[in-house]
Structure 1
Amino acid sequence: MNKSNIAILVLIGILFSSCTMKKETMPPNILFIAVDDLRTELGCYGNTVIKSPNIDQLAHDGVLFSNHFVNVPTCGASRHSLLTGMRPISKDYLRNDITELTLTNKQEQDAPETFIHHLKRNGYHTVGIGKISHSADGYIYGYNEAPSTKQELPNSWDELDFDYGKWKSGWNAFFGYANGENRQSLKRQVKPYEKGVVNDTGYVDGLTTKLAISKLNQLKKSSKPFFLGIGFFRPHLPFNAPKKYWDLYDRDSIPISPNPMIPEGVNLKSLHESGELNGYKLGEEKASLNHPVSEQYARTLRHAYYACVSYIDNQIGHILKELNKLGLDKNTIVVVWGDHGWHLGDQQMWGKHTIFENALKSPLIIKVPNKYKSKSVNSIIETVDIYPGLMELCNIKLPDSLDGKSFVSILEQKNMQTDNVAYSYYRDGISLRTNRYRLTKYYRKEEPTIELYDHNSDPFESKNISNDNKEIVEKLIPILEKGNKEIFY
């Protein structure tokens, strides 16, 4: 072999090595899937009736956080905490429109508006499809208005995309029925559920899946790492899903709530009258704190919720299959996050909007390429911890003054953080979750203002034991007050 041929081979080797190194050192992509109103009603969290094989497989392949709690049990405020890594600092931060109030009309600042903006500044191509912040499609407009061009997060996205389908707007699609109508157009004269004789794209979440798959194929060709945020609407009300997902279940085998009664020793101001559910005027029964719904109707509603979960599970399965098919799974962090829990008849309520366990606990599953497989984390994690955790996984320096703390040391087993706590806020109250207890303090005149639940003996929070455990309350109150930030003074 002559010298010129050797030189060419050496050059090819250097180029190949350079390309390989570039590929290996490419920062990880992030596929972030937000699911609205998804509580831990999944097989991987111990439900033996629900059908959620795709999310369950993701949990098997990655990390399941078994004690993840949101900071606010309502969609917009919970997502704001996720995006900013900050707990509420005033009552305004408990509102669904807090992102619009604080970020939408602001000029770009030195501090990033969200962790997505921070990724963008650090070389990521950011794409949003569906509900990531509070808006159904990322744009600001009212339920009964045409879509606008005003982005809820003006600095975070390189691309915002959505397929409205037959509903013609994000909010119409969010509350949409299979015939193209929606809750608004039908003046709320609708049932809170629908068994649609349609395929997956007969509801908008199926269109979101198709769009996400198409976008993954485009991103595969990008030279930059990407953040792809996908926001699914179901199982938010109305509980509408294609018939085939309803048919997965025998309704009689679906259990009703293990704690369907109002807890002992609480004031009714800690609860609510299920107004969101009752806003669907053609529901067979009205939920009330004066009288529980019948067992038959409770099973109907839980059946509808289960069908929606299975529908979304299948959509997630299609997206993950495409991610694998494209080979993107080898360098993509996958996150599935529920924006809060939901009372499915628990404590005689239907909906979120409380600071009980069922409204605050939600799924968090993270798969990191080639790391942490089949890992279950029992340490207490807050939603605000997701921002710093993802930045550490991506080797991106954090901005100053986040409330959240990275969970990576827990995954590395360098710090098991058994003393972690979670703070949650709503209904003029703060709730503190430790590994064993939930202590809640309400800043109101109606007594009792203190509630204590022992999750070792009462995981369903059926009895307030604060009066009989004053020493525990006195020990935990100073920790709870650290989370107040003068919100309720």
Structure 2
Amino acid sequence: MFKKSLLPGLVSLGAVLLLNSFYSHEQSPDSQPPNILFIAVDDLRPELGCYGKEYIKSPNIDRLAAQGQLFKNHFVAVPTCGASRHALLTGRHPLSKKYLSNNISAEVLSGKPETETPETFIHLLKRNQYYTVGIGKISHHPDGHVYGYLDSPKDAPLELPHSWNEMLLDDEKWGSGHNAFFGYADGTNRNTLKGQVKPYEAAAVDDEAYVDGLTAKLAVQKLGELKKREQPFVLAVGFFKPHLPFTAPKKYWDLYDEDKLPISPTPDIPENINKASLLNSGEFNNYQLGEEEASLDHQVSDAYARKLRHAYFASISYVDAQIGKVLDELEKQGLAENTIVVLWGDHGWQLGDYRVWGKHTCFERALHSPLIIKNPKMEKGIKHEQVVGTVDIYPTLMEFCGVTPPKNVDGSSLTNLMKKSSGKDWKNVAYSYFNNGITLRTPRYRLTKYFRQARPAIELYDHKTDPLESKNIAMGNPATVSRLMPLLEKGNTGLYD
């Protein structure tokens, strides 16, 4: 029915004792460690009801936000799937240019022996007696195994070899995780059809005709099994939508009136920048049967932009419904009161903003993503304005679980911010990296420095007066650039030395 990997524990009791001497619970023996339900959503920008977008139908994510704490200004480290997830899992900013690649986890973790330093925060919790289960896309590869788009998944190595007790995906109809990821309701996929497909689909089918419905079904089943284990667990569930292709059952399309949907408020290229800061929407244009091709030279028509946004929003509502099934089962199993729930988007997405259809830029739309954390023992319904980064999630979860993180983690725990909600002592900065650039986000400004020949190489946006980043004001504000530049340089991890 589905692909399953059962991984052995450490090879000897001596190794267990050695590792636990480095990483051990700080809680008392009588306390019960919390479970972790980690939900990763691919290409999800914060266009949700709980983020003030009332035209989006996202009742289940909105419910989670009301029960937990929402971070209004969360920014990912890298605006591409694999590298962003690697930063999440390791709690580290990119160390070199190869860390901007989708394949970074496969390159530096897959097939490597276990070391004293844990490969991920999930690995660290596994060392601390947690039972760990992954379903779907948690690292870059959609089923957690490393193989090419057109290759067979049989005997493919795990991307994270030491993190999982189980790694699951139901991809039977499509034949592999990669095919399911780019799949359509009839079992076809973009890969084997060589791009001769549309970038969207509205099929009159039930939820389980697409893979995210099957992922939710697996997660529901697994929660029942985990309840019986009477052992703390990490259940990481990686949903594919709203990643391209924008596919969802027709009933989710029917939630929206396409003619009334807003198009991008910034459909033109920002003033005073070089086009090198943007991209030509190559991933989007791989869907070769789309009605129009995206280009920096011209906008797509308003009608096509609305159709694509309709498709993206339907995909959000579809994945929201699957998330709701998992959250409902958590309640049904009586696990909610001792389970920390995290919902995280791996990056944003430009829906025609600056003529771009895709991620892969250092602009707000590509870097801003949802982050909701529900700790049932903490105050609920808080919305934080402070700037936070994806690398802050690792140390936060470790503090919740009473586990000491490695010293090389770049992030800072959000726990005090979540307790006090004032954030007076919070660092209030986030660094992101891509396209030969480093970008710094503070509560008011985004400063970006590109290491390239094309000019201008410095961009400054004032979010107080220009929250849409429509005009680079670096040339006219040299004092602000000079003041912020040392802070930006602190984020240069050696990437551009």
TM (norm. structure 2) is 0.93
Selected match of 1:208 from 199, 208, 215: 215
Selected match of 1:99 from 95, 98, 105: 105
Q: CA deviation at 1:370?
A: 3.0
- Deviation by residue 1:25-52 (Cα, 9 ceiling, x = unmatched): 2100000000000000100001010100
Aligned to 1:61: 67
Gaps of 5+ in 2: 1-26
Q: Given the superposition, is the C-alpha separation of residues 85 and 236 from structure 1 closer, same or farther in structure 2, using an over 3 Å criterion?
A: same
Selected match of 1:39 from 45, 49, 54: 45
Aligned to 1:304: 311
Q: CA deviation at 1:24?
A: 7.4
Aligned to 2:33: 27
Selected match of 1:477 from 481, 485, 491: 485
What is the CA–CA distance in structure 1 between the aligned matches of 2:218 and 2:40, rounded to whole Å? 15
- Deviation by residue 1:154-193 (Cα, 9 ceiling, x = unmatched): 0000111111131111000000011101001111100000
Aligned to 1:437: 445
Selected match of 1:409 from 404, 409, 416: 416
Report the residue type matching 1:438 in the other structure: R
Q: CA deviation at 1:475?
A: 0.4
* Rg larger for: 1
Contact kept? 2:111, 2:158, Cα under 8 Å: no
Residue 292 (structure 1) aligned with residue 327 (structure 2): no
Secondary structure of 1:365's aligned partner: strand
What is the CA–CA distance in structure 2 between the aligned matches of 1:205 and 1:39, rounded to whole Å? 18
Q: Given the superposition, is the C-alpha separation of residues 219 and 426 from structure 1 closer, same or farther in structure 2, using an over 3 Å criterion?
A: same
Aligned to 2:344: 337
Aligned to 1:276: 283
- Deviation by residue 1:441-466 (Cα, 9 ceiling, x = unmatched): 00001100000000000000000000
- Deviation by residue 1:11-31 (Cα, 9 ceiling, x = unmatched): xxxxxxxxxx99972100000
Residue 145 (structure 1) aligned with residue 151 (structure 2): yes
Secondary structure of 1:67's aligned partner: strand
What is the CA–CA distance in structure 2 between the aligned matches of 1:322 and 1:450, rounded to whole Å? 49
Contact kept? 1:139, 1:148, Cα under 8 Å: no
Aligned to 1:8: none
Residue 375 (structure 1) aligned with residue 386 (structure 2): no
- Deviation by residue 1:325-374 (Cα, 9 ceiling, x = unmatched): 11100100011000000000111100000010000000000110131200
Contact kept? 2:220, 2:329, Cα under 8 Å: yes
Q: Aligned-pair RMSD on alpha carbons?
A: 1.3
Q: CA deviation at 1:400?
A: 1.5
Contact kept? 2:92, 2:411, Cα under 8 Å: yes
- Deviation by residue 1:237-277 (Cα, 9 ceiling, x = unmatched): 00000000000000011100111110000000000111111
What is the CA–CA distance in structure 1 between the aligned matches of 2:46 and 2:460, rounded to whole Å? 22
Q: Given the superposition, is the C-alpha separation of residues 267 and 22 from structure 1 closer, same or farther in structure 2, using an over 3 Å criterion?
A: closer
Contact kept? 2:199, 2:287, Cα under 8 Å: yes
What is the CA–CA distance in structure 1 between the aligned matches of 2:303 and 2:485, rounded to whole Å? 41
What is the CA–CA distance in structure 1 between the aligned matches of 2:427 and 2:408, rounded to whole Å? 21
Selected match of 1:446 from 443, 454, 479: 454
Q: Within 5 A, what are the aligned runs for 1:158-307?
A: 158-307=165-314
Contact kept? 1:63, 1:376, Cα under 8 Å: yes
What is the CA–CA distance in structure 1 between the aligned matches of 2:41 and 2:402, rounded to whole Å? 26
Aligned to 1:356: 363
Q: Percent identity?
A: 61
What is the CA–CA distance in structure 2 between the aligned matches of 1:384 and 1:148, rounded to whole Å? 33
Residue 455 (structure 1) aligned with residue 463 (structure 2): yes
What is the CA–CA distance in structure 2 between the aligned matches of 1:104 and 1:382, rounded to whole Å? 25
What is the CA–CA distance in structure 1 between the aligned matches of 2:445 and 2:469, rounded to whole Å? 10
Aligned to 1:12: none
Farther-moved stretch of structure 1 (426-435 vs 391-400): 391-400
What is the CA–CA distance in structure 1 between the aligned matches of 2:58 and 2:41, rounded to whole Å? 13
What is the CA–CA distance in structure 1 between the aligned matches of 2:252 and 2:33, rounded to whole Å? 38
- Deviation by residue 1:38-67 (Cα, 9 ceiling, x = unmatched): 000100001010100000010011000001
Contact kept? 1:137, 1:170, Cα under 8 Å: yes
What is the CA–CA distance in structure 2 between the aligned matches of 1:417 and 1:487, rounded to whole Å? 28
Q: Within 5 A, what are the aligned runs for 1:392-407?
A: 392-407=399-414
Farther-moved stretch of structure 1 (277-286 vs 371-380): 371-380
Aligned to 1:6: none
What is the CA–CA distance in structure 2 between the aligned matches of 1:284 and 1:146, rounded to whole Å? 32
Residue 48 (structure 1) aligned with residue 48 (structure 2): no
Report the residue type matching 2:294 in the other structure: A
Q: CA deviation at 1:208?
A: 0.4
Contact kept? 2:93, 2:493, Cα under 8 Å: no
- Deviation by residue 1:284-341 (Cα, 9 ceiling, x = unmatched): 0011111100000000000000000000000000110111011100100011000000
Q: Within 5 A, what are the aligned runs for 1:119-130?
A: 119-130=125-136
Report the residue type matching 2:57 in the other structure: K
Residue 85 (structure 1) aligned with residue 95 (structure 2): no
What is the CA–CA distance in structure 1 between the aligned matches of 2:478 and 2:200, rounded to whole Å? 44
What is the CA–CA distance in structure 1 between the aligned matches of 2:300 and 2:140, rounded to whole Å? 30
Contact kept? 2:417, 2:426, Cα under 8 Å: no
What is the CA–CA distance in structure 2 between the aligned matches of 1:131 and 1:372, rounded to whole Å? 30
Contact kept? 1:418, 1:435, Cα under 8 Å: no
Q: CA deviation at 1:487?
A: 1.0
Aligned to 2:21: none
- Deviation by residue 1:127-179 (Cα, 9 ceiling, x = unmatched): 00000000100111111011133100000001111111311110000000111
What is the CA–CA distance in structure 1 between the aligned matches of 2:116 and 2:154, rounded to whole Å? 27
Report the residue type matching 1:34 in the other structure: A
Aligned to 1:486: 494
Secondary structure of 1:128's aligned partner: strand
Q: CA deviation at 1:197?
A: 1.3
Selected match of 1:426 from 406, 430, 434: 434
Secondary structure of 2:39's aligned partner: strand
What is the CA–CA distance in structure 1 between the aligned matches of 2:346 and 2:114, rounded to whole Å? 26
Secondary structure of 1:277's aligned partner: helix
TM (norm. structure 1) is 0.94
Q: CA deviation at 1:397?
A: 1.2
Residues paired across the two proteins, number: 469
Report the residue type matching 1:428 in the other structure: N
